[in-house]
């Protein structure tokens, strides 16, 4: 019974996490640059685990009862995504996004950590999906089986972010070409701006 609940949590959590999102695009780019990958993977995984456990523990109900908080996060997230999207568009236009260890060192860990925290927590959908949806799905199980479901979802998150962050280096031969970085940054820019607009015009 516990194994089945854990497997269900893994599938449910994976289905939500694997979808391409702003956080995943950020992790992919950091992995390609091999820039503070461990910190980024750890923050993303711990953030997901915290939200999953909170949702299974019942905090998702609180989120639903505080729509004002989600509205604040919606506008803050939209502003952040728009800013990051415009930065990516500028890199794509100027061709300054290719591997540059010196530039990466100048940014420092603090810049990367703050950006990662913003991608993780300034998205109202992460609370609705991770806390409310997974929390609701976990109610199908009782007792320890419910936490086995949570464990499965947490494992899916850790596996995904670790694979994305450290597996990105497999694409490095492609990204030795500066044009590939311009294409990637152009796609990231479009993706971030679309997500920002989606948050701005979201209803409900």
Q: What is the pLDDT of residue 158?
A: 94
Ramachandran region, residue 173 (left: φ > 0; alpha: ψ -120 to 50; beta: rest): alpha
- Residuewise pLDDT in 10s, the chain (204 residues): 778 888 988 988 887 776 657 888 899 889 988 889 999 999 999 999 999 998 888 766 666 676 676 777 778 878 888 888 898 888 888 876 555 444 444 467 888 999 999 988 887 777 877 877 788 888 788 888 889 999 999 999 999 999 999 999 888 888 778 788 788 888 888 888 887 888 788 665
Q: By CB neighbour count within 10 A (0-12 exposed, 13-18 middle, 19+ buried), where does 203 fall?
A: exposed
Q: What is 125-186 written as a DSSP string?
A: HHIIIIIIIHHHHHTTS-THHHHHHHHHHHHHHHHHHHHHHHHGGGGTTGGGSHHHHHHHHH
What stretches of the chain adopt beta strand conformation (E)?
Answer: none
In whole angstroms, what is the distance from residue 138 CA to residue 2 CA? 12
């Amino acid at each position: 019974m516990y194994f089945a609940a854990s497997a269900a949590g893994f599938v449910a959590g994976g289905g939500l996490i694997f979808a391409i999102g702003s956080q995943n695009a950020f992790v992919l780019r950091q992995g390609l640059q091999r820039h503070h990958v461990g910190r980024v993977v750890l923050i993303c995984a711990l953030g997901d685990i915290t939200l999953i456990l909170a949702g299974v523990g019942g905090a998702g109900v609180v989120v639903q009862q505080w729509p004002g908080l989600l509205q604040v996060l919606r506008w803050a997230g939209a502003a952040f995504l728009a800013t990051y999207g415009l930065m990516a568009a500028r890199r794509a236009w100027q061709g300054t996004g290719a591997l540059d260890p010196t530039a990466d060192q100048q940014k420092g860990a603090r810049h990367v950590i703050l950006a990662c925290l913003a991608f993780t927590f300034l998205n109202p959908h992460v609370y609705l999906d991770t806390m409310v949806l997974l929390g609701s799905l976990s109610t199908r199980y009782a007792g320890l089986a419910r936490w086995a479901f949570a464990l499965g979802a947490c494992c899916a998150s850790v596996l995904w972010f670790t694979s994305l962050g450290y597996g990105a280096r497999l694409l490095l031969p492609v990204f030795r070409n500066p044009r590939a970085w311009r294409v990637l940054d152009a796609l990231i820019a479009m993706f971030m701006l679309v997500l920002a607009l989606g948050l701005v015009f979201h209803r409900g």
